């Protein structure tokens, strides 16, 4: 992937910007890993990336897919995508994901780190079911929020954060065939587990991406290496990741 230039989009917490040069972002590394995992499901397929944000994920999907449409409601995000990512079979469109006007058009839909932004996630899932062909695949990720943060640490863009049980319950209402996986750290680290329980740990997200502290923390705590979890998902996953077979009546 080339080195993207940020001309129109700010890293305000709503959309994840890719790292550049020697920057480190623990969260971006995790989100990128999920898209790399999704490549296993899109080879030779027509794909819609719903809530594509800055577009790096759409580009990763396009390395395997027949075609990819990246969708986001934010004009600046789509402009950033078009400036930075180019492929003959990749396009971007500004569109509110809750009102997608396609039906049975795509083999697969990917929606990572977006469902927590919707006030009515059930309606949004129905939109995904509509645009994906019967028998197609839908992949959805969302943070595994065991306890919502408050005050200045709370993400102001999240209106519907869910834990494992809540997300699983939502999926059960809309799909009959799915697997609920997790994205978690690739290596166990007792120090990371201990620090993660302390209140100040959350302030690490305010460190700049070139921070020496962040780089040292990554070496000591293995913060940018991840794996797909099949077991102990509720306990260990940083993000929940559903792989769904789109069965329609």
Q: What is the pLDDT of residues 11-67, one digit of tens each?
A: 665 677 888 888 878 889 999 999 999 999 999 999 999 999 999 999 999 999 999
Distance CA 23, CA 11 (A): 13
- Which pLDDT score, from 0 to 100, does residue 66 have? 98
Q: Residue 200: is its pLDDT beyond 50?
A: no
Partnered with residue 179 across adjacent β-strands are 243
Q: Is the pLDDT of residue 210 over 90?
A: no
- pLDDT number for residue 8: 61
- The predicted-structure confidence for 97-156, as pLDDT tens digits, reads as follows 878 878 899 999 999 999 987 889 999 999 999 999 999 999 999 999 986 655 444 555
CB 69 within 8 A of CB 49: yes
What stretches of the chain adopt beta strand conformation (E)?
Answer: 46-50, 67-72, 90-94, 106-112, 132-143, 178-185, 226-229, 239-245
| 53 token code pair | 């944000």
> Which among 105, 72, 74, 68 has a CA at the least distance from the CA of 87?
68
- The Cβ of residue 47 has, within 10 Å, a number of other Cβ atoms equal to 29
Q: Is 47 helix (H, G, I), strand (E, B) or coil?
A: strand
pLDDT on residue 229:
98
Please report the domains of the chain, with CATH numbers, ordered by start residue. 26-184+231-245 (3.40.50.150)
Which of 91-100, 141-150, 151-160, 227-236 has the largest mean confidence? 227-236
Contact 51, 112 (CB under 8 A): yes
CA quadruple 143, 242, 115, 208: dihedral sign: positive
């Amino acid at each position: 992937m080339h080195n993207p230039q940020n001309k129109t989009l700010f890293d305000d917490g709503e959309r994840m910007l890719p790292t550049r040069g020697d920057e480190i972002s623990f969260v971006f590394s995790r989100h990128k890993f999920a898209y790399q995992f999704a490549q296993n499901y899109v080879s030779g397929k027509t794909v819609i990336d719903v809530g594509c944000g800055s577009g790096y994920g759409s580009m990763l999907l396009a390395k395997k897919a027949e075609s990819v449409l990246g969708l986001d409601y934010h004009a600046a995000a789509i402009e950033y995508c078009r400036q930075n990512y180019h492929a003959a079979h990749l396009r971007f469109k500004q569109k509110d994901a809750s009102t997608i006007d396609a039906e049975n058009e795509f083999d697969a839909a990917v929606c990572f780190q977006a469902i927590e932004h919707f006030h009515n996630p059930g309606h949004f899932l129905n939109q995904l079911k509509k645009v994906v062909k019967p028998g197609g695949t839908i992949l959805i990720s969302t943070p595994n929020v065991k306890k919502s943060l408050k005050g200045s640490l709370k993400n102001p863009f999240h209106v519907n954060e869910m834990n494992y049980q809540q997300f699983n319950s939502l999926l059960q209402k809309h799909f009959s065939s799915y697997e609920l996986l997790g994205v978690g750290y690739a290596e166990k680290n007792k120090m990371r587990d201990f620090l993660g329980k302390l209140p100040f740990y959350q302030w690490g997200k305010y460190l700049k991406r070139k921070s020496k502290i962040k780089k040292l923390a990554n070496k000591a705590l293995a913060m940018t290496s991840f794996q797909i979890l099949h077991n102990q998902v509720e306990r260990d996953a940083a993000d929940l990741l559903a792989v769904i077979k789109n069965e329609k009546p």
